[in-house]
Amino acid sequence: MNSTGLLEVTAVRRVTPRTVRVTFTGQGLDALEAWPDQQLKLLFPPPGRPVRLPAAEDDVMRWYQAYLEIPEDERPVMRSYTVRARRPEQAEIDVDFVLHGDEAGPATSWAAAAAPGDVLGRYGPDALYRRPLPSGDVVLLAGDETAIPAVWSLLSEVDNAVVFLEVPDEAEEQPMPGDVRWLHRDGAPHGTKLLEAVREAKVDGSAAAWLAGEAGTVRALRRHLVGERGIDKGAIEFTGYWRRKLTQDDAPTPEDLAEAAEKLGGG
């Protein structure tokens, strides 16, 4: 399946006060292979311009080089998102966008005004980025509101999960297929409630974990599970979906680079 193409909005609905679910259709979505925590790149056009796609390439690095070769004033902004649901018989996917209020970037601003007929570009989902689901006597799933779509998909594959999701308040809870402990920030610093809950959870070295959300919080969770709980690094899958005060356009931090090298090394 060609991993590059256009997506057209067919429906938009607000599923919580801060979450917008956008339904897309597009060529190739009818043949989309399914797996949990399925990522794709969305390409948001500059204001007032149509989406300009890079030349179609099967290799992701060549595709990314073609993306960088688009003139800067025409180059779309690229952001990573999780497929929330897929309906291949209708060539449709759903993607959830968390609205960040005064800190809105290009993706949030687009989602807040999205309407049927709007068009984005996409790269993926690419099986190259498929990560194995960790296994253990218990699987700890922990994240913030940006991790909800991935956790929703993971719960269809895991029947021994302990789940913690931190959201701004009660209104941001969503129906989930498993037993989820919802943690409400209610004005507390981001990640505080999640770290407290995981530290108090009854998990030990025989557990595995999947962690996602703000990068600093994910790092703190992972340090706790490895250093204080004795969980093997190889039993923890982790992703920093976003970075406080930084975007995907900003240079990676030393911590980002170290984690990327560790993932590539398999440890």
What's the pLDDT tens digit per position in 193-209? Answer: 999 999 999 887 789 99
**Residue 184, C-beta contacts closer than 8 angstroms, at least 6 positions apart:** 166, 167, 168, 169, 170, 193
Q: Which residue has the higher pLDDT, 242 or 205?
A: 242
The listed range with the strongest mean pLDDT (29-33, 247-251, 259-263) is 29-33
Domain ranges across the chain: 4-125, 139-265
d(CA 14, CA 176): 17
Q: Which residue has the higher pLDDT, 156 or 222?
A: 222
What is the fold, at CATH topology level, of the domain defined by 139-265? Rossmann fold (3.40.50)
**Helical H runs in 143-229?**
148-154, 192-200, 215-227
Residue 256: pLDDT over 80: no
**Helical H runs in 118-210?**
148-154, 192-200
d(CA 60, CA 77): 17
Residues of the chain with pLDDT > 90, as a percent, come to 69
β-pairing, 208-214 vs 236-242, is parallel
Would you say the pTM of this structure is higher than 0.85? yes
- Extract the tokens encoding 67: 């993306």
Residue 250: pLDDT over 50: no
Pick the CATH number of 4-125 from 3.30.230.10, 3.40.50.300, 2.60.40.10, 2.40.30.10: 2.40.30.10
User: Using CA of residue 184, residue 176, residue 144, residue 157, what is the dihedral sign?
Assistant: positive
d(CA 180, CA 74): 43
d(CA 185, CA 172): 11
Q: Where is average pLDDT lowest: 56-70, 123-137, 224-238, 250-264? A: 250-264
Q: Model confidence at 239, in pLDDT bands (50, 70, 90)?
A: very high
Give the residue-averaged pLDDT of 92-96.
97
Q: Residue 2's pLDDT is what?
A: 58
d(CA 109, CA 246): 16
